[in-house]
Amino acid sequence: MSTPSTVIEARGLTKRYGRRRGIEAVSFSVRAGEIFGFLGPNGAGKTTTIRLMLGLLRPTGGAVSVFGVPPGPAVMARIGYVPGDLGLYLEMTGAALLDHLAGLQRGPPRLRGDLCARFELSAPDLAIAVRACSRGMKQKIALVQAFQHDPDLLVLDEPTEGLDPLMRERLYDLIQSTAEQGKTVFLSSHVLPEVDRVCGRVAMVREGRLIVEETVASLRARTLRKLEAVMGAPVDLASLRVEGVVEARADGSRVTLLVRGSPVPALQALLRQPLEDLVCERARLEEIFLEHYRPEPGR
Amino acid sequence: MKPSLVLQPLWGARWTLAALAAGLTALMLAATASYSSFGGAEMLAQFISRMPRGIHTLAGGENLLTAAGYFSMMFVHPLALIFKGGAAIALVTRLAQDVETHAADLLLSRPVTRVELALARYLAALAGLTTVIGCGALAFLIGRSRMPAVQELAAMHVLAAFGYDLLLWTAIASAGFFATCLASARGRAVSWAVGFAALSYLLNVVGQLWAPMEPARRASVFYYFRPATALAGSSPPAAHLALLAGVAAAGLVLGLLAFRRRDIA
């Protein structure tokens, strides 16, 4: 099966659980080779969307295709999945579980050795029953089972849950190197720094509806960033209200500018003043996220 | 279908199965070993003439004066019901547990169809049930070989009776399978399966004790199970066998259809 340029395509995807909301008319597409972040607070509909993509749920409306066809066994052979709700057979050893899950794939688990080394899963670690494993160990096993058969599409639902910072870094590196090989990664998370760190494009869901789908760079460009300057003498704030500056205020020698888009015109304006010190904060996805998820007035 | 889909639940339930098989084995060995200690047909006749009707009904309602009648009681002995019911329900409800714990998500996100997964779990349940009932049959044959009084039952007839028993419990397991294919929690699937088996058993017993309820016995799978007939060397009514096989097939097909269409959540 060839890899079409669009790996995942959701069109008007809707899921209702009786009278309870799941997701409503969600549409997005994920291209081959990209790391696509799927963001939203708990209960927004991220896992429902993933379960629809994997064919675990039947849509109430709309459709989703993966590699150009509806989810089914042929497509599943090309997917690696880390579920958010981790359900492992607790009585099995880690090694037996990985063997069992690999045995259900069409290809051999050829990356297992490298993955175990990357996540520091030794043979003795894998020889104990999953029941006796820590949360982090279970999560590492979940990651290995998803990546071990070298799938073309990784669907990762909150993949860093339970991992320590070092292992998180290793996972980010793995995700990035996987994408560099032309594989596609769908990363669902509510941990904004990790999405900010690895994703090229994001979609955000809120209360079951998609509210944003664009590149992280363009999201940042639309977002306010703060420039804090310490001046050697009082300044005329009107001279600082240049292109992109939406707010300028002074507190003694300290001047604060809120800038949308490129900060260059504001920096040039500041350099024409008696500037002594400057702090320019990078626009963070977290602020964009909060901007979108701040409760609406009257709600 | 990958064999590991069948073997994994069997391996997971190996200690449960071993305990149930050991229990049924012990019961059958005890039953065959203690037959002559009842004093044969004459003593049994005196004993049965004093037995309350309710107790006689609970013992299977068969003619206990014959070896076939006496041993048919062992097929519906409360302990035997627990051992066989336990095997049928413990394994057949594993699928609901997979859904409840989200282990099914990991399996179905591989090139495994829902029908394959459900059918594998059903086959595992049948294998477990066959193991437990097979151990009971083997124990009975061992006991028979050691007790001359029991040898009036032909070995083939004993095997036929245990085969008949397997058919009954396959039908019950299939009803449980249908319940488990609909359920999202193992506890619920177990409740429905046990409920079906218990209601079926009670319907048959109450129908024997209370004349107005007699017609309702036909709604019970136990009504179609007459192990004394098989032990005595006669063929059970074909309609009874067909009905039990029909319940088993219906449970399987309805279960697969339900599991194929449902949400895994």
Q: Which residue of A has its CA nearest to B13?
A: A91
Q: List CB contacts (< 8 A) between A155 and chain B.
A: 109
Complex-level ipTM beyond the 0.85 threshold: no
Q: Can you tell me the distance from the alpha carbon of A242 to that of A254, in angstroms, rounded to the nearest whole number?
A: 18
**CA dist list (Å): A175 to A51, A107, A137, A197, A233:** 21, 20, 19, 11, 49
Between residues A223 and B135, which one has the greater pLDDT?
B135
Distance from CA of A7 to the nearest CA of B (A): 16
Backbone angles phi, psi at A2, to 5 degrees: -80, 165
Q: Which residue of A has its CA nearest to B2?
A: A104
Query: What number of H helices and E strands is found in chain A?
Result: 11, 13
Of B8, B98, B113, the CB nearest to A100: B8
The DSSP output letter for A158 is S
Q: Is pLDDT of A225 > 50?
A: yes
Give B111's contacts (C-beta < 8 A, 6+ positions apart): A73, A74, A76, A77, A104, A105, A106
Region of A45 (left: φ > 0; alpha: ψ -120 to 50; beta: rest) is left
Residue found under tokens 């429905």:
B192
Q: Are strands A35-39 and A201-206 parallel, antiparallel or unpaired?
A: parallel
pLDDT digits (tens, 9 = 90+) for B168-227: 999 999 999 999 999 989 999 999 999 999 999 999 888 888 888 888 889 999 999 999
Q: Which residue of A has its CA nearest to B104?
A: A87
pLDDT digits (tens, 9 = 90+) for B215-236: 888 999 999 999 988 988 888 8
B14 in A contact zone (CB under 8 Å) = no
Q: Can you tell me the distance from the alpha carbon of A223 to that of A289, in angstroms, rounded to the nearest whole number?
A: 10
SS (H, E, C) B175-186: HHHHHHHHCCCH
pLDDT digits (tens, 9 = 90+) for B6-15: 999 999 899 9
B263 in A contact zone (CB under 8 Å) = yes
Give A290's contacts (C-beta < 8 A, 6+ positions apart): none
Say if the Cβ atoms of B102 and A83 lie within 8 Å: yes
Give B241's contacts (C-beta < 8 A, 6+ positions apart): B164, B167, B224
Hey, what amino acid is at A184?
Answer: T
Say if the Cβ atoms of A54 and B109 lie within 8 Å: yes
* Percentages (nearest 5) of helix, strand, coil residues in chain B: 85, 0, 15
Q: Which residue of A has its CA nearest to B102?
A: A87
Tell me how crowded residue A209 is: count the other CB atoms within 10 A of its CB.
15
Q: Are strands A209-215 and A61-66 parallel, antiparallel or unpaired?
A: unpaired
Check: CB of residue A119 under 8 Å from CB of residue A174.
Answer: no
Q: Can you tell me the distance from the alpha carbon of A202 to that of B186, in angstroms, rounded to the nearest whole number?
A: 37
pLDDT digits (tens, 9 = 90+) for A128-187: 999 999 999 999 999 999 999 999 999 999 999 889 999 999 999 999 999 999 999 999
Q: Are strands A61-66 and A6-17 parallel, antiparallel or unpaired?
A: antiparallel
Q: Can you tell me the distance from the alpha carbon of B120 to that of B94, in angstroms, rounded to the nearest whole number?
A: 11
SS (H, E, C) A164-212: CHHHHHHHHHHHHHHHHCCCEEEEEECCHHHHHHHCCEEEEEECCEEEE
Q: Can you tell me the distance from the alpha carbon of A29 to that of A268, in angstroms, rounded to the nearest whole number?
A: 39
Mean pLDDT, range B48-77, rounded to an integer: 71
pLDDT digits (tens, 9 = 90+) for A13-71: 999 988 788 899 999 999 999 999 998 888 888 999 999 999 999 999 999 999 999 99
Q: Is pLDDT of B127 > 80?
A: yes
pLDDT digits (tens, 9 = 90+) for A83-142: 988 888 888 999 999 999 999 998 889 999 999 999 999 999 999 999 999 999 999 999
- Highest mean pLDDT, choosing among B73-87, B139-153, B242-256: B242-256
Distance from CA of B265 to the nearest CA of A (A): 7
Check: CB of residue B167 under 8 Å from CB of residue B80.
Answer: no
Nearest to B1 by CA among B116, B94, B98: B116
Q: Can you tell me the distance from the alpha carbon of A137 to that of A146, in angstroms, rounded to the nearest whole number?
A: 14
Hey, what amino acid is at B58?
Answer: L
B103 in A contact zone (CB under 8 Å) = yes
Token pair of B124 as six digits: 């595992």
Q: Can you tell me the distance from the alpha carbon of B235 to that of B242, in angstroms, rounded to the nearest whole number?
A: 13
Q: Is pLDDT of A247 > 90?
A: no
